[in-house]
Structure formats: C-alpha cells, structure tokens
Structure 1
C-alpha cells in the first residue's frame, strides 16, 4: 500500500515552520539590541508572569528541554538577569527567579511586544487569532488530559 503525501504547500509541519518564522521575525528584531536570545526571552517572560519557579516547571512553561534550560539559566545568571537557589530539603531541586535587571528587559519591551501581538491580531482577526491558539493547544502534548 502506497500512501500519497500531501503537497508541501499543505504539509502541517512545513506550514508550522513557516508560520513560526513569520511570528518570530518581529520578535527577533525586538530582541536584536538586548543581547538575549529568543529562548532567554521566553524564560524571562515566564518568570515575569509566574514568579519564582523550580527548574523543571520553568523548562515546561518555557517550552524548553531541561538540559537547555540549565544552560540558558546559567547564562542568564551570569548576565545578572536571574538568580538560582537550591531547595533546602532537596538539594537537587533549584528555584529560579527573575532579577530587577531581568524584569527591566521585559518592562522596557512590553509596549513593543504588545504591538507585535496586535499586528498578528490585525492580520488574522481577533477571532481567528484566538481560534488558532486553541487549535495549536490541541497539538500540544503537554496540554492533553
């Protein structure tokens, strides 16, 4: 039995990669002068939103593999943008917290980030924007019950 592959113009993986590039391009432009990467931005955004988190939870909420988060957190710590402390009961467990300097990076770009989101909403329409987020959540293995 031979299954015919869909055209690459209708391939979900390829469409998602193209869409990701379209979404990330203005974010990369916003971050170009900060000296931080997209992944570092995600970590700072999550910490800004949720506060102190253990490393495993932070990796999950930042959509990063744990080893990548470990490396990224070390870089952010060296830059003075986060602090890391060990759990008193379980020394293997680490907690990560955004510093005022890290929060300043988020705060200084909040208006620009909001404009980027508004641009996506203008392109898609608010209802399509929300529907897209809902549909993408269905493909997220972390959100399945």
Structure 2
C-alpha cells in the first residue's frame, strides 16, 4: 500500500476517501448505506468521510426527492477531476503489483479479499 498512500497523499485524500470517490464515480449518485457497502466502510466512518469530502468540494449531499429522510451523495466535477488525474497512476501501481505477484496469485488474493468481505462477522 506504500505507493498508493504516496499517490493519495499527493492528491490530498485518504485511502477511504479515494474508495468513496471511486464508488460514486463508477456507480453514480447513491445513498450513504449503499456507498458504505460498496466501499467496505462502516456507516459512522462514512459519515465523517462524507463531511470531509463535502468540505473539500469533492462530493455533494442532497435530500432524496422520493424520501426526505434519505440523502443522495454525488461526486462533483472537482471530485471526478481528482480521480481522472490520479487514475492512471493507480492503475500502474496495481499493474506492477499484479506483475510482481503473478496473475494467479493476484487473482487468488482478490478472490480471498472478496470472500473476507462477504463474511458475516
């Protein structure tokens, strides 16, 4: 994770903030519970992360038009620009990791992490 942390530090975001931005950028506007599930974060942690991202102008939160008790979170153009500016570096880091580990071991690692995420603990 060292190279990723350096890249994200240079971009001014944490690993968790990056995950939230990527989830929103890939899936479009979402409610916080769905974001937490997709980004593998606890909802209380996500609340703090969204506050920080909103203060940086990287996401917006609005009330749902269909259910006033719910929020809808969207990535802003600035958030999308941050992702675009750093996506190639992120891909290169993971490509290098895949090359160093070997395709089979890398795929096995991703499968194991997915299984771990799916456990009811």
Aligned to 2:65: 88
Q: How many residues align?
A: 120
Matches within 5 A, 1:8-87: 24-87=1-64
* Larger RCO: 1 or 2 (CA < 8 Å, sep 6+): 2
Aligned to 1:133: 110
Residue by residue over 1:115-144, the C-alpha shift from the partner in whole angstroms, topping out at 9 and shown as x without a partner, is 1111110111112211221122222236x7
Q: Which runs of 5+ in 2 are unaligned?
A: none
**1:140 alignment partner, SS class:** helix
What is the TM-score with the length of structure 1 in the denominator?
A: 0.77
Q: Distance in 1 between matches of 2:35 and 2:69?
A: 15
Q: Which runs of 5+ in 1 are unaligned?
A: 1-23
Q: Distance in 2 between matches of 1:35 and 1:114?
A: 18
**1:122 alignment partner, SS class:** helix
Q: Distance in 1 between matches of 2:117 and 2:89?
A: 27
Kept in 1, the 8 Å contact 2:40–2:117? The answer is no
What is the TM-score with the length of structure 2 in the denominator?
A: 0.91
Q: Distance in 2 between matches of 1:127 and 1:48?
A: 29
Of residues 102, 120, 124, the one that matches 2:79 is 102
CA RMSD of aligned residues (A): 1.4
CA radius of gyration, larger in = 1
